[in-house]
């Protein structure tokens, strides 16, 4: 349980979907460096990139079992 700087209890907070960092609301408008991506709040652009990268890897693994060309559709 956390309290904001204005001594009011924080009803809701965001949690970075990638690293799990808690993102509390701040008077300045948010945690510095926080990024909204696909409607979710990430703690930093690094975590957004990581999430996109992981999704791409898993999609590639699921799509092509064993191929000589990494991405023939892109040609």
Q: How far is the CB of 9 from Zn ion (least distance, A)?
A: 24
Computed on alpha carbons and rounded to an integer, the radius of gyration of the chain in Å comes to 18
Q: How far is the CB of 18 from Zn ion (least distance, A)?
A: 4
Binding window for Zn ion (CB under 5 A); candidates: 6-14, 24-32, 36-44, 56-64: 36-44
DSSP for the chain reads: --B-TTSPBP---EE-TTT--EE---TTSSSTT-EEETTEEESSHHHHHHHHHHHHHHHHHHH-SS-SSS-GGG-
Sole binder of Zn ion in the list 14, 43, 48, 51 (CB under 5 A): 43
Q: How far is the CB of 4 from Zn ion (least distance, A)?
A: 21
Binding mask 9-28 for Zn ion (x = CB under 5 A): -------x-xx-x-------
Is residue 34 at the binding interface for Zn ion, with CB under 5 A as the rule? no
Q: What are phi and psi of 30, to 5 degrees?
A: 145, 175
């Amino acid at each position: 349980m956390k309290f904001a700087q204005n001594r009011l209890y924080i009803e809701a907070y965001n949690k970075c979907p990638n690293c799990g960092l808690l993102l509390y609301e701040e008077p300045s408008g948010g945690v510095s460096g926080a990024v909204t991506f696909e409607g979710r709040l990430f703690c930093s652009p690094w975590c957004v990139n990581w999430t996109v990268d992981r999704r791409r890897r898993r999609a590639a693994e699921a799509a092509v079992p064993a191929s000589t060309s990494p991405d023939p559709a892109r040609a």
